[in-house]
C-alpha cells in the first residue's frame, strides 16, 4: 500500500473506529459531508474526505474508506466490495447506450486507476425516455436507482455522466436514488453523493439536504420495489453464496424470499441473482438493468429459475466480463448483465420489432474492449455468452447424431464416497523398481485414479503423486478384499462399497475442472475412480464394451467437444478458464456424425497414435474441417505434457 494512503486510512480509522457502535458511526458519516449538519464548518472526517490521497476523488474516497474499515469477515459476510467509480461509469455508459453501437473501447479505453474525473466524453445521441427497444437513454434526463447502494460508486458515476452531458449537478442529484440495508452504508452513500455534486459546482448545503431524500434504508430484495418507473437500475449487489456459513440465508429469510420470488428461489441460488428480478420491478418498460453478478449466475442449475423469470419480462442485451480481478479482495469471477424490460412481456420467441436477437459482449477491467456479439441463449444456461466473450470457438454439432446418453450411463461419487474410500487407500510398494503399471497383473489390488492422474487419453498413475484425504500416495491402490468388506459390512458405508464395486467394469473416466475434456478408457475395469471423477459406463445395448470404451473416450477427447463443453458450463468451475461437466452433462455430449471416421480415429488412438495427431480426424468426425480453428485453439489449451502425445 502507498504510505500516504496508509497514513490517510489510519487517520480516518481514528475518526471511524470499528469500536464505535453502529449509531455512532452513522452519526459521524452523516456529519461528514461538505458542510456540517447545521451548515457550518465541515467535521474532522469531512475535512479528511475533502483531502484524500493523490488520485482519489473525495466522492470516491468515502466508499473506499468505508470498505477499508470493515473487518475481512464482516466484509465477506455482507458481500460488500467497493466498485471503482471508473468501472461503474463504464458499465453505466455501456448499458445506457444504443444497443447497436459500441460505446466504450474500440481498441481499449483505460478505465482503471484512481477513478473517473468529473464529466466525461461526449455522449451519443439519445431519445429521452424512449420505449423503443435499443434506444439510448439520455444521460441528462435518465433516472437511476441502485438497490444495494453500498459506497455509492454507481450513483456517483451516474451524476458524473449527467453533468458531463450538460445537466445541473443538483438536478443530476435529484435523478438518482438508492437503498441499502446497512445504515452505515446509507450514511456513507449520502456523503459520497453530496461530495460528487459539490465537485461539480453544487451548493454544499443544498447538496447535503437533497441526499437525505435520495438515499434511504431498505432491503432491496424484500421491501418491494422502493423505486418504480426508473430508467436505469444499476449496482453491485452483495454476493451471498449459500455454501458458506457466513453468507448462507437463515430459514426465515429463505422463506420470505420464496414468498417474494417464487420458483426463482431454488437450492443455493446466490442472493445477487435475485436482484435482477428486483431491478426489473423498478424499471419502466424500455428501461434497463445493469448489475454486477458472480459468473456462476450464468450457468448454475440453481440460478436457472432466475434466468427463466428474467426472460419472461426482459431481453438480455449485454454481457460484460471482468476476465481478471475486478475487486481488490474478492476472489470471485464477476460479470455484469444488461437487461431491457419489455412492454407487455411477449415470449422471447416472439420478439417485438427492433428487439435485439443477439447479445453484445465486452471484456476487461483495466482495458475495456468490445468482444462482438453472440446469439441470445435459452434460460437453461447463459454460459455460451461467457464462452463467446472469452474467445471459445463457436461449434455447431449435428443434433441428429445423438448424444452419449444413447450409448451410456454416468455416475460420480460425493463426499460420503470420498471419506469411505480414503481409509482403504494404501501405497503399492514401489521398491521393486517397476514402472507402476504392473498393478494390472495383481488380481488383489485396484489402482485408484484421482483427477490429477487423468490427462487427455493418458493415465499418470505411478508417474506423479496423488493427494487423497491429505495424504500423498505415489501409487495409490485399494485391495479388493477391503472393498468387498466395505460392501458387506453393513451400515451407511455398505452402500458406498456397493457403489464402488459397480464401477469395476469397462468404463471411461472423465476429469472435471480442466481446460480441455480429459478422458481415459478403462476397458479392463482396472481403475477405481476417486471423487469427483465421472465414470461413464456402457448402456445395456452395447455389444462390445471394450471397443466402446475407446470410442467414447476418443469422442470426448475431440477438440469440438471441449468447445461445446465450455459453452455448456462456463462460469460454474472453480477457475474462470476451466470447464466442469457433471455426470448429466457428460451424457449430453453430442456424438460424432461421421461414424467411420470416429471409429478409425478411436482405433488409431488405441493402437498408440498420439492424441494430437488424431485431433484433426476427430474434428472431421464431428463434421468440421480437419484444420478447423478449433483444433489449434484446443491444442494451445492442452496440459504441457499432453502437447507432445
**Which residues does 571 contact at the CB level (< 8 Å), separation at least 6?**
295, 296, 297, 298, 299, 300, 333, 335, 382, 383, 386
Question: 10 Å Cβ neighbour count for 30?
Answer: 21
Domain end among 337, 353, 387: 387
Domain end among 387, 409, 435: 387
**Which residues does 163 contact at the CB level (< 8 Å), separation at least 6?**
118, 119, 169, 172, 200
Q: Closest Cα partner for 237 from 292, 287, 282, 318? A: 292
Domain end among 337, 364, 387: 387
- DSSP annotation of 403 reads B
pLDDT at 112 over 70: no
Q: What pLDDT, in 10s, does the model give residues 189-207?
A: 998 999 999 999 999 889 9
Paired with 537 in beta bridges are 409
Mean per-residue pLDDT for 89-95? 92
Residue 77 lies in a domain: no
Q: Which residue has the cell 455416475?
A: 411
Q: Closest Cα partner for 204 from 11, 40, 322, 394? A: 40
Q: Domain check: are 215 and 233 in the same one? A: no
Question: In this structure, are residues 33 and 204 in contact, taking their beta carbons and an 8 Å threshold?
Answer: yes
- The phi, psi pair for 147, rounded to 5°, reads -80, -5
Q: Domain check: are 200 and 343 in the same one? A: no
Alpha carbon distance 564, 476 (integer Å): 33
3-state secondary structure of 448: strand
pLDDT at 357 over 90: no
pLDDT at 583 over 90: yes
Between 173 and 428, the more confident residue is 173
Q: Domain check: are 289 and 203 in the same one? A: no
Give the pLDDT of residue 561: 98
Residue 136 lies in a domain: no
pLDDT at 351 over 90: no
Residue 263 lies in a domain: no
Q: Give the CATH number, domain containing residue 585.
A: 3.90.220.10
Give the pLDDT of residue 76: 56
Q: Domain check: are 454 and 353 in the same one? A: no
Of all residues in the chain, what percent carry a pLDDT higher than 70?
Answer: 83
DSSP codes, 231-300? EEEEE------TTSTTTPPPHHHHHHHHHHHGGG--TT--HHHHHHHHHHHHEEEEEEEEEEEEGGGGT-
Q: What pLDDT, in 10s, does the model give residues 365-411?
A: 878 889 999 999 999 999 999 999 999 999 999 989 999 999 999 99
pLDDT at 105 over 50: no
Mean per-residue pLDDT for 595-602? 98
Residue 372 lies in a domain: yes
Q: Closest Cα partner for 167 from 133, 223, 123? A: 123
Half-sphere exposure of 469 (CA within 13 A, CB side): 15
| pLDDT tier at 24, thresholds 50, 70, 90 | confident
Alpha carbon distance 32, 47 (integer Å): 8
Q: What angle do CA 416, 420, 422 make, to 5 degrees?
A: 115
3-state secondary structure of 317: strand
**Which residues does 344 contact at the CB level (< 8 Å), separation at least 6?**
285
Among 24-28, 349-353, 417-421, 608-612, which stretch is predicted with the lowest mean pLDDT?
349-353
Q: Domain check: are 183 and 57 in the same one? A: yes
| pLDDT tier at 4, thresholds 50, 70, 90 | confident
Measured over the CA atoms of residue 377, residue 382, residue 386 and residue 392, the dihedral's sign is: negative
Q: Domain check: are 420 and 546 in the same one? A: yes
Q: Domain check: are 511 and 436 in the same one? A: yes
Alpha carbon distance 392, 626 (integer Å): 18
Q: Domain check: are 340 and 468 in the same one? A: no
Give the pLDDT of residue 280: 95
Q: Domain check: are 380 and 449 in the same one? A: no
Which ranges constitute the DSSP H helices of 69-182?
A: 72-78, 85-96, 153-164, 169-174
| pLDDT tier at 528, thresholds 50, 70, 90 | very high
Residue 259 lies in a domain: no
Residue 60 lies in a domain: yes
Residue 265 lies in a domain: no
User: Which grid coordinates are listed for 313?
Assistant: 419480462
Among 77-81, 320-324, 449-453, 572-576, which stretch is predicted with the lowest mean pLDDT?
77-81
Q: Domain check: are 446 and 327 in the same one? A: no
pLDDT at 515 over 60: yes
Report the side by side order of strands in the sheet with 507-511: 408-412, 534-538, 507-511, 518-522
Structure pTM? Answer: 0.84
Report the side by side order of strands in the sheet with 230-235: 109-110, 367-375, 358-363, 314-321, 334-341, 283-294, 230-235, 144-146, 176-180, 215-217
Between 67 and 154, the more confident residue is 154
Radius of gyration of the chain (CA): 28
Q: How many domains does the chain have?
A: 3
Which of 95-109, 224-238, 271-285 is predicted most confidently?
271-285
Q: What pLDDT, in 10s, does the model give residues 563-574?
A: 999 999 998 888
Residue 261 lies in a domain: no
Question: In this structure, are residues 630 and 558 in contact, taking their beta carbons and an 8 Å threshold?
Answer: no
Q: Domain check: are 462 and 586 in the same one? A: yes
Task: Domain of residue 29: give its range.
Answer: 1-69+149-219
Q: Domain check: are 418 and 379 in the same one? A: no
**Strand intervals (E) in 451-542:** 454-455, 458-459, 466-468, 471-473, 476-479, 507-511, 518-522, 527-529, 534-538
Amino acid at each position: 500500500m502507498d504510505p500516504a494512503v496508509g497514513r490517510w486510512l489510519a487517520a480516518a480509522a481514528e475518526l471511524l473506529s470499528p469500536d464505535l457502535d453502529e449509531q455512532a458511526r452513522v452519526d459521524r458519516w452523516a456529519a461528514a459531508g461538505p458542510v456540517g449538519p447545521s451548515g457550518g464548518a465541515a467535521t474532522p472526517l469531512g475535512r479528511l474526505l475533502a483531502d484524500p490521497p493523490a488520485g482519489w476523488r473525495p466522492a470516491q474516497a468515502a466508499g473506499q474508506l468505508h470498505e477499508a474499515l470493515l473487518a475481512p469477515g464482516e466484509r465477506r459476510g455482507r458481500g460488500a466490495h467497493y466498485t471503482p467509480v471508473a468501472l461503474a461509469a463504464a458499465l453505466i455508459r455501456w448499458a445506457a447506450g444504443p444497443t447497436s453501437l459500441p460505446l466504450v473501447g474500440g481498441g481499449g479505453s483505460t478505465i482503471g486507476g484512481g477513478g473517473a474525473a468529473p464529466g466525461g466524453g461526449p455522449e451519443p445521441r439519445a431519445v429521452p425516455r424512449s420505449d423503443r427497444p435499443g434506444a439510448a437513454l439520455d444521460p441528462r434526463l435518465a433516472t437511476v436507482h441502485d438497490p444495494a447502494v453500498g459506497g455509492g460508486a454507481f450513483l456517483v458515476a451516474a451524476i458524473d455522466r449527467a453533468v458531463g452531458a450538460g445537466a445541473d449537478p443538483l438536478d443530476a442529484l435529484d435523478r438518482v436514488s438508492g437503498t441499502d440495508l446497512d445504515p452505515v452504508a446509507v450514511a456513507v452513500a449520502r456523503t459520497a453523493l453530496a461530495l460528487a455534486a459539490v465537485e461539480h459546482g453544487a451548493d454544499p448545503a443544498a447538496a447535503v439536504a437533497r441526499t437525505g431524500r435520495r438515499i434511504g434504508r431498505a432491503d432491496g430484495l424484500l421491501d418491494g420495489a422502493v423505486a418504480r418507473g426508473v430508467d436505469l437500475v444499476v449496482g453491485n449487489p452483495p454476493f451471498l453464496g449459500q455454501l458458506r456459513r457466513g453468507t448462507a440465508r437463515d430459514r426465515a429469510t429463505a422463506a420470505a424470499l420464496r414468498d417474494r420470488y417464487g420458483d426463482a428461489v431454488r437450492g443455493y441460488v446466490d442472493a445477487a441473482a435475485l436482484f435482477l428480478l428486483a431491478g426489473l420491478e423498478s424499471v419502466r418498460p424500455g428501461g434497463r438493468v445493469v448489475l454486477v453478478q458472480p459468473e456462476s449466475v450464468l450457468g448454475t442449475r440453481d440460478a436457472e429459475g432466475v434466468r427463466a423469470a428474467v426472460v419472461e419480462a426482459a431481453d438480455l442485451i449485454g454481457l460484460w466480463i471482468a476476465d481478471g480481478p475486478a475487486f481488490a479482495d474478492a476472489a470471485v469471477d464477476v460479470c455484469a448483465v444488461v437487461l431491457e424490460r419489455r412492454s407487455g412481456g411477449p415470449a422471447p420467441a416472439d420478439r417485438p420489432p427492433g428487439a435485439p436477437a443477439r447479445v453484445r459482449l465486452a471484456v476487461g477491467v483495466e482495458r475495456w474492449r468490445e468482444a462482438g456479439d453472440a446469439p441470445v441463449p435459452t434460460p437453461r444456461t447463459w454460459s455460451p455468452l461467457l464462452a463467446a466473450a472469452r474467445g471459445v470457438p463457436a461449434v455447431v454439432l449435428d443434433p441428429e447424431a445423438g448424444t452419449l446418453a444413447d450409448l451410456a450411463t454416468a455416475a460420480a461419487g460425493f463426499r460420503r464416497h470420498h471419506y469411505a474410500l480414503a481409509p482403504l487407500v494404501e501405497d503399492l510398494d514401489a521398491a521393486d523398481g517397476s514402472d507402476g503399471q504392473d498393478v494390472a497383473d495383481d488380481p488383489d489390488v485396484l489402482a485408484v485414479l484421482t483427477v490429477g492422474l487423468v490427462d487427455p487419453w493418458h493415465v499418470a498413475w505411478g508417474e506423479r503423486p496423488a493427494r487423497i484425504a491429505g495424504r500423498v500416495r505415489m501409487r495409490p491402490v485399494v485391495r479388493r478384499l477391503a472393498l468387498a468388506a466395505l460392501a458387506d459390512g453393513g451400515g451407511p458405508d455398505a452402500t458406498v462399497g456397493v457403489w464402488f464395486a459397480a464401477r469395476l467394469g469397462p468404463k471411461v473416466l472423465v476429469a472435471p475442472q480442466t481446460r480441455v475434456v480429459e478422458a481415459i478408457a478403462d476397458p479392463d475395469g482396472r481403475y477405481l475412480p476417486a471423487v469427483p471423477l465421472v465414470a461413464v459406463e456402457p448402456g445395456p445395448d452395447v455389444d462390445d464394451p471394450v471397443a466402446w470404451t475407446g470410442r467414447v473416450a476418443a469422442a470426448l477427447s475431440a477438440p469440438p467437444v471441449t468447445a461445446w463443453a465450455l459453452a455448456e458450463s462456463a462460469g460454474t468451475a472453480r477457475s474462470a478458464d476451466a470447464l466442469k461437466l457433471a455426470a448429466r452433462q457428460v451424457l449430453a455430449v453430442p456424438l460424432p456424425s461421421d461414424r467411420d471416421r470416429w471409429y478409425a480415429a478411436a482405433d488409431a488412438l488405441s493402437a498408440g497414435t498420439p492424441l494430437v495427431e488424431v485431433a484433426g480426424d476427430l474434428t472431421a468426425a464431428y463434421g468440421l474441417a480437419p484444420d478447423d480453428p478449433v483444433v489449434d485453439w484446443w491444442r494451445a489449451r492442452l496440459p504441457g505434457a499432453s502437447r507432445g502425445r
